[in-house]
Amino acid sequence: MKMKWIASLVLNICLFGVASFANSSTIISASSVSTSDFSTLYPSDIHIVDTINQNGLATHYFSGSTDWDTYFAGGGPLHNQDWNNQEWFSAPQLDAGGYSASDIQGSIDFDLGSVFKIDGLALWNEDSFGIGKFDVWVSENGSSWSRVIQDYVPTNWSYDVPYTANLLNWTATDIRFVRLTITEGGFKEPTAQYGVAIGEIAFSGTNPVPEPATIALMGIGLAGILGRKLSRKKK
């Protein structure tokens, strides 16, 4: 009778663990970001890390624990329009008179630090340049890539006012690396130039659900511990 009770308890614990892994969608921040295609405008005051460090966000989050749906309820927090150490701008910026948006192209890579089951991202598209159009590619190992979003056109926000995030979604998959491939730059009206600028980017996901073999080992371990405790009580 006691062994049946132990087996039932272990099974429920394992099922609860799987449900927790599968259902808790949290905000995941990249641990690093890089680009080999763009230089940075005013590098003493603007840094590409400002796209992932939450500088400029009205409300901060805790990576891996803040609930995605709760954080973005009602449109989500605003990003400040101030550029100094709060947004990232590419260089060079091209005059509209001799160039077009498609002359601004390149990639930006985000490393999440470890593998997560990711199903979307939030992009705070900067208010002056921003991004005109981009694709999203994802990879688990950094060498084999799959495109999950194509020709996405984010909101072109009004100049010099705080702005919210665009939320993008795709089928959840195990990911460590995310690449934005920019196919068109944004247009800045006051100076009539094309460029690229980002306020912040974050990702929606969970830790990968354990495989059945891993869950079975957890169950065997729990059963062994409980069995030994009950055996000692009998003695």
Alpha carbons 157 and 194: distance in angstroms, whole number: 15
Alpha carbons 144 and 225: distance in angstroms, whole number: 42
User: Does the predicted TM-score (pTM) go above 0.85?
Assistant: no
**Does the pLDDT value for residue 188 go beyond 90?**
no
- Calculate the average pLDDT of the chain: 86
Share of the chain above pLDDT 90, in %: 70
- CB of 162 within 8 A of CB of 79? yes
For residue 131, the cross-strand partners are: 185
Q: Render pLDDT for 149-169 as a digit per residue (tens, 0 to 9).
A: 999 999 999 999 999 999 999
Residue that wins the pLDDT comparison between 51 and 92: 51
pLDDT value for 191: 84
**Does the pLDDT value for residue 59 go beyond 60?**
yes
Query: Which amino acid is present at 202?
Result: A
Q: Which residues touch 15 (CB under 8 Å, ≥6 apart)?
A: none
Q: Which domains does the chain have, with CATH numbers?
A: 25-207 (2.60.120.260)
**Does the pLDDT value for residue 11 go beyond 50?**
no
pLDDT value for 93: 87
pLDDT value for 89: 95
Alpha carbons 83 and 218: distance in angstroms, whole number: 49
What DSSP element (H or E) covers 198? strand 197-206
**Does the pLDDT value for residue 110 go beyond 60?**
yes
Q: Could you give the angle at which helices 212-234 and 2-23 cross, rounded to 10 degrees?
A: 140
pLDDT value for 16: 44
SS3 232: helix
Report, as an integer, the average pLDDT of 70-96. Answer: 93
**Does the pLDDT value for residue 229 go beyond 90?**
no
CA-based angle 74:79:82, to the nearest 5? 155
Q: Which residues touch 88 (CB under 8 Å, ≥6 apart)?
A: 40, 46, 47, 48, 50, 51, 126, 197, 198
**Does the pLDDT value for residue 214 go beyond 80?**
no
pLDDT value for 225: 58
Q: Is 110 left (phi over 0), alpha (psi -120 to 50) or beta?
A: beta
Residue that wins the pLDDT comparison between 184 and 43: 184
pLDDT band at 12 (very low <50, low <70, confident <90, very high): very low
Share of the chain above pLDDT 70, in %: 78
